[in-house]
Amino acid sequence: MARYYGVFIGDGNTLSLIKQVRGTGFDRLLVKYITKGLPVFGGSVGAIILGRVIGTAYFGGDADRMR
């Protein structure tokens, strides 16, 4: 990821995305990236998984469920 100037994490299913991010080791790369002060942005689910907790994924009529 050293060649990138920023990371954008988009939309989808929160639980599925977390499973993929953790399963591939991308979460550890993100921590290193953020620690270096490089920009990371999230839209919708991308913003949720960057937070401390993911509880907001369970609110509303279209709440995320594990697929």
Please say whether the beta carbons of 1 and 33 come within 8 A.
Answer: yes
Q: For residue 22, what pLDDT is reported?
A: 93
Q: What are 11-67's pLDDT values in tens digits?
A: 888 888 999 999 999 999 999 999 999 999 999 899 988 988 887 777 666 666 655
| 7, two tokens | 């990371």
Q: Provide the H-helix boundaries in the chain.
A: 14-24, 26-35, 45-50
Which structural domain range is residue 30 located in? 12-58
Q: For residue 9, what pLDDT is reported?
A: 94
Full-model pTM:
0.73
Residue 7 inside a domain? The answer is no
Residue 27 inside a domain? The answer is yes
Q: For residue 15, what pLDDT is reported?
A: 87
CA distance 47 to 17: 11
Residue 22 inside a domain? The answer is yes
Specify which residues 40 forms β-bridges with. 7
Instruction: Report residue 2's pLDDT band, with 50, 70 and 90 as the boundaries.
Output: low
Q: For residue 51, what pLDDT is reported?
A: 86
AA identity, residue 16: S
